[in-house]
Amino acid sequence: MPHDLFLKIAVNCPLRRSFDYLPPKQVNELPVPGTRVSVPFGNRKLTGIVIATTATSDLPANKLRHVETVLDSTPIVSTTMMQLATWMSDYYQHPIGECFAILLPSLLRKGEKQVDLSENGWQLTDSGKNFRPAANAIQQQKAIDYFQSNARLNDDDKGAAGISLSALKNLVKKNILHQYTEQPAKVDFTAAHIHHSPFGLNTQQAGLIRRFEAQPPGFRPILLEGITGSGKTEIYLQLIERVLLAGKQALVLVPEIGLTPQTIARFQKRFDCAMAVFHSNLTDQQRLRYWQQSQAGIARIIIGTRSALFTATEDLGIIIIDEEHDLSYKQQDGLRYSARDLACVRAKIEQIPVVLGSATPSLETLNNADTQKFEHWELTERAGNASPATVELVDIRNQPMVDGLAESVLPHIAHCLQQQQQALVFINRRGFAPTLICHDCGWVSQCEACDARMTLHLRAQHLRCHHCQAVSPIPMQCPTCQSTELVYQGAGTERLESTLKQHFPDAPLFRIDRDTTAGKQTMQNMLAQIHQQPSAILVGTQMLAKGHHFPNVTLVVILEADSALMGTDYRATERFGQLVTQIIGRAGREEKAGHALIQTHYPDHMQLQKLVHHGYRRLAMDLLSQRRELGLPPFSFQALIRLEARDAQDAINLLQRLQQSISHLPIIAIGPYPANLQRRAHYFRFQLMLQAHQRAQLKYAVGILLDTATALIKPAQHRFSVDIDPQDVS
């Protein structure tokens, strides 16, 4: 092929530009934009994506290399998703190849072929309808129970149902089940595929649906602000129903993997259609299969955590972001994107509605609603007969404490259990105790690699650093003075669990944190057990605050609220208000009244009083006024430059040189200053905060700084990152 055209390729590498290549030697037709290609890159072969063809190149043709292989016969990345990747690269000032790579499942990034979508399925035979497994055949019984309410079970659903493949094979051998293979097909969605809710919409909900229907299709950013338990999910379902009936797909983002099974169950009860579910526990093969089903339009509803935003679709009709305020929507390493913000960008490119739902909206989203950039929908009443929980501040000054729990709180828990109800006790720290200390000499269990203390995990019998994950055995004696008087200080979920078991030995107790929910089905199984218990105690971290529905929880106890209220980050009070409001919202979600107890040393604290007596919205509006006066986001724009080095002075010197490169620009540069955790995993961590009144000013400054950093930063010695719109500035 003559060299009259060149290919611009986004190669998955950390360089901030695309690369020009010559077309493949033995191919008569040029690969079109959106297709994957294999290219030589240095002495390696990498996978890239064609982003354009061009008649010119900055390099002469004899200096360019040929594309080696075209991996796709048709584009694998749509025009709209290419626009999204290009926008990401420009906005976050991130290598374009990595922005394109994030659009694809890992197998496709590696150049693998797409998978065959045919799948196995099982259904009961006639002889299996009356089959009763042996008493010890627990897995077989689980399978039979599944078929009592489901006609079929497919490959993808068996994991979620907790049914093993070996049990299914045994039942097939016994002719209890029939196994089949089928090719999934796109099904036209009709009203027959909808199972309507037994509950009607209340006046507020019905009004919002009419408001949605009154507007023509197109880009519509909508803040759905509804108090906890007000029926936001029902609004989501109603909107999705209208999108599906129009022949389009729906994308739903949830902040926590633990919410995914709960969301799926709710959606499956309403809609009889194929769904693709994305979360971090999927295998690479499962992720690719779901991605292809979504791209082909087979999956009508796509549900997942942050990265599900990049799923390819055939005809997307709406994006919904549940709990839009949640920090987990912000990627904290690599490409530090905000899934919430990118969802709005994708919706604008696709010209579809995007709904941001929350009982405690972020200040950025509230400001967008107040300035009428977003529509503002409100639900101010709890659904059904539920009423808001009453809130009481527990002054723990001079009060007897039991492992972080005020003695005066224990009778409340006892009364709750006597009423055959459930109590939720919240502490945002896992482990048994945050500190192991020598009573004689004051030695503290310090991490050797970090400026942090090792947390005691008694059940696992080790000390663990929650920052670098270093583990060491629990010492039998003090390594400094050899004393055996080692004592625990502070409390975590594990210690709280032990204490509550001592006080309430007969009550079922469930601890929900990262340590107890590490398995694939553990969280789902634990939630199922909780729903089966009339009375129980739930102990957990913020995982419990993220949208879970516990109909029998009537009492919430919040421990160590002061630590969140006193955070050094200027967003600390906002996060405190969101977290406390969300936790309180777990109580009294149905007919039973809810009550919340907040333990504090500062019952008269102005912000705490404001939250308790006037609610999150009042607190948020006051915080917005403060941000406006101080010129903080969302009334200015920030970028956080992070640099880590083995030598602290080296990091400081480099950041000072970067700061000097932009000192002539009209922006504020704060630093270099140490991160709150100055040393982590043997690296010293320093930061430089950039702030500007106009986004264009900030973008220009970051561009100059990155050019300077390219010449100064040594990847083997330094860890360097740029975080646009940082959410964690500590």
Known binding residue 441? Answer is yes
Report the candidate in 13, 34, 39, 11 with the shortest Cα–Cα distance to residue 24.
39
Pairing mode of beta strands 668-680, 718-724 = unpaired
E strand or H helix that includes residue 574 = helix 572-584
Known binding residue 438? Answer is yes
For 483-504, give the DSSP string: -S-EEEES--HHHHHHHHHHH-
- Round to whole Å and give the CA distance between 22 and 4: 9
Report the candidate in 146, 153, 114, 245 with the shortest Cα–Cα distance to residue 190.
245
Known binding residue 99? Answer is no
E strand or H helix that includes residue 537 = strand 536-540
DSSP H helix total and E strand total for the chain: 20, 32
Under 8 Å between Cβ of 335 and 88? yes
CA 644 to chain centre: 25
CA 385 to chain centre: 31
Report the candidate in 429, 411, 435 with the shortest Cα–Cα distance to residue 540.
429
Known binding residue 344? Answer is no
Does residue 497 sit in helix, strand or coil? helix
**At 700, which amino acid appears?**
Y
Report the candidate in 81, 68, 83, 86 with the shortest Cα–Cα distance to residue 31.
68
- Helix 695-712 to helix 648-661 angle (10° resolution) is 130
Known binding residue 481? Answer is yes
Does residue 700 sit in helix, strand or coil? helix
Known binding residue 13? Answer is no
**At 260, which amino acid appears?**
T
- Which structure tokens are listed for 389? 């929980």
Under 8 Å between Cβ of 481 and 468? no
Tell which phi-psi region holds residue 504, choosing left (phi > 0), alpha (psi between -120 and 50) or beta: beta
**Binding annotation:** 438, 441, 447, 450, 465, 468, 478, 481
Binding residues for Zn(2+): 438, 441, 447, 450, 465, 468, 478, 481
